[in-house]
């Protein structure tokens, strides 16, 4: 399985050096293994704090590692999730840095009268 997700990474992110690829792939695979361990051994694994605090750091990136923001990276992670968890990712939703929350302010007319 690790070889398959390594191939996905190599195919889609050719510009990333081998060491960063290796660390990311190994940690993705380790995350899946820990998920599988908890899922196979506990009915309500999602509520278990051991599961919640399991491996959540996948890779270190430097300031110049712009590949992490690329559409190819988002595609790569989607393909890896599909392969590891045997799902079919059809859409990826991202939080937009330009999206603003809608705030409403109500003024009480009575509060401003003498």
Is pLDDT larger for residue 113 or for residue 59? 59
Residue 30 lies inside a defined structural domain of this protein: yes
Number of structural domains the chain divides into: 1
**What's the pLDDT at 98?**
58
Residue 82: both structure tokens together? 């599909």
pTM over 0.85: no
Give tens-digit pLDDT for 13-50. Answer: 999 999 999 999 999 999 899 889 988 988 888 888 88
Say if 97 falls within a structural domain: no
Choose among 15, 26, 30: nearest CA to 69: 15
Average confidence score pLDDT of the chain: 80
Q: What separation in angstroms does the CA of 71 have from each of 9, 24, 48, 66, 106?
A: 13, 17, 33, 11, 41
- Structural domain span for residue 41: 2-85
* 104 has pLDDT over 60: no
C-alpha–C-alpha distance, residues 68 and 90, integer Å: 20
Task: Please tell me the distance from the alpha carbon of residue 1 to that of residue 23, in angstroms, as a whole number.
Answer: 15
Domain for residue 22, yes or no? Answer: yes
Residue 74 lies in a domain: yes
Q: Is the pLDDT score of 94 beyond 70?
A: no
Domain membership of residue 32 (yes or no) is: yes
Assigned domain for 95 exists = no
């Amino acid at each position: 399985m690790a070889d398959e997700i390594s191939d996905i990474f190599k195919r889609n992110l050719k510009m990333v050096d081998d060491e960063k690829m290796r660390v990311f792939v190994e940690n993705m695979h380790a995350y899946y293994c820990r998920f599988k361990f908890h899922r196979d051994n506990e009915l309500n694994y999602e509520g278990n704090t051991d599961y919640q605090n399991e491996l959540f750091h996948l890779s270190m990136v430097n300031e110049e590692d712009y590949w992490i923001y690329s559409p190819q990276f988002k595609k790569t992670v989607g393909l890896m999730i599909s392969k590891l968890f045997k799902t079919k990712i059809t859409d990826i939703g991202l939080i937009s840095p330009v999206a603003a929350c809608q705030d409403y302010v109500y003024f009480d007319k009575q509060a401003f009268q003498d």
